[in-house]
Structure 1
Amino acid sequence: MGTKERKERQKTEMRESILSAALKLFSDKGFENVTMRNIADEIEYSVGTIYLYFQDKDEIFYELHKMGFDEFFKRQLDVQNVKDPLERITEHGLAYIRFAIDHPHYYDLMFISRVPAKIINEQEDWSSGTRTYDLLKLNIAQAKEDGYFKDVEVEVAAFSLWSFVHGISSLFVRDRLKMIPQESIGSLVSGALKFLERAY
Structure 2
Amino acid sequence: MEMKDKKQKHKEDLKLAILEAAKKLFVQEGYEATSIRKIAKEIEFSPTTIYLYYKDKNDIVYALHQEGFQLLRQQFMALDSVDDPFQRFKALGRNYIDFAFRNPDYYQVMFMMKEPMEFLDANCIEEQWPEGERVFDFLRLTIAQCQEQGWFKDKETDLVAFQAWSAVHGLVTLYLSNHLSKITDTLEMQYTVRDLVNKTFEVYVSFIEQTK
Instruction: Assess same fold via TM > 0.5.
Output: yes
The 10-residue stretch of structure 1 (17-26 or 186-195) with the greater mean CA deviation from structure 2? 186-195
Bigger relative CO (Cα 8 Å, ≥ 6 apart): 1
- Cα-to-partner distance string for 1:65-103 (whole Å, 9 max, x where unaligned): 101000101111112222222221110000001000100
Between the aligned residues of both structures, percent identity stands at 37
Structure 2 unmatched ranges of 5 or more = 185-190
Letter in structure 1 aligned against 2:154: D
TM-aligned CA deviation for residue 35 of structure 1: 0.9
Measured in 2, the distance between the counterparts of 1:2 and 1:145 equals 54
Say which of 143, 147, 161 aligns to 1:158: 161
Say which of 141, 166, 170 aligns to 1:167: 170
Give yes or no for the alignment of 1:102 onto 2:102: yes
Structure 1 unmatched ranges of 5 or more = none
Measured in 2, the distance between the counterparts of 1:66 and 1:84 equals 29
TM-aligned CA deviation for residue 32 of structure 1: 2.0
Please say if residues 40 and 47 of structure 2, whose CA atoms lie closer than 8 Å, have aligned partners that are also in contact.
yes
Query: Structure 2 length as normaliser, TM-score?
Result: 0.87
Letter in structure 2 aligned against 1:130: E
Please say if residues 97 and 165 of structure 1, whose CA atoms lie closer than 8 Å, have aligned partners that are also in contact.
yes
Letter in structure 1 aligned against 2:105: H
Measured in 1, the distance between the counterparts of 2:76 and 2:68 equals 13
Please say if residues 94 and 185 of structure 1, whose CA atoms lie closer than 8 Å, have aligned partners that are also in contact.
no
Say which of 128, 133, 137 aligns to 1:130: 133
Work out the number of aligned pairs and report it: 200
Please say if residues 37 and 47 of structure 1, whose CA atoms lie closer than 8 Å, have aligned partners that are also in contact.
yes
Query: Structure 1 length as normaliser, TM-score?
Result: 0.92
Measured in 2, the distance between the counterparts of 1:86 and 1:5 equals 45
Measured in 2, the distance between the counterparts of 1:197 and 1:149 equals 10
Measured in 2, the distance between the counterparts of 1:131 and 1:4 equals 34
Give yes or no for the alignment of 1:146 onto 2:149: yes
Report 1:3-152 matches (<5 A).
3-121=3-121, 122-124=123-125, 126-152=129-155
- Cα-to-partner distance string for 1:5-35 (whole Å, 9 max, x where unaligned): 2222211111111111001111112222211
Letter in structure 2 aligned against 1:117: M
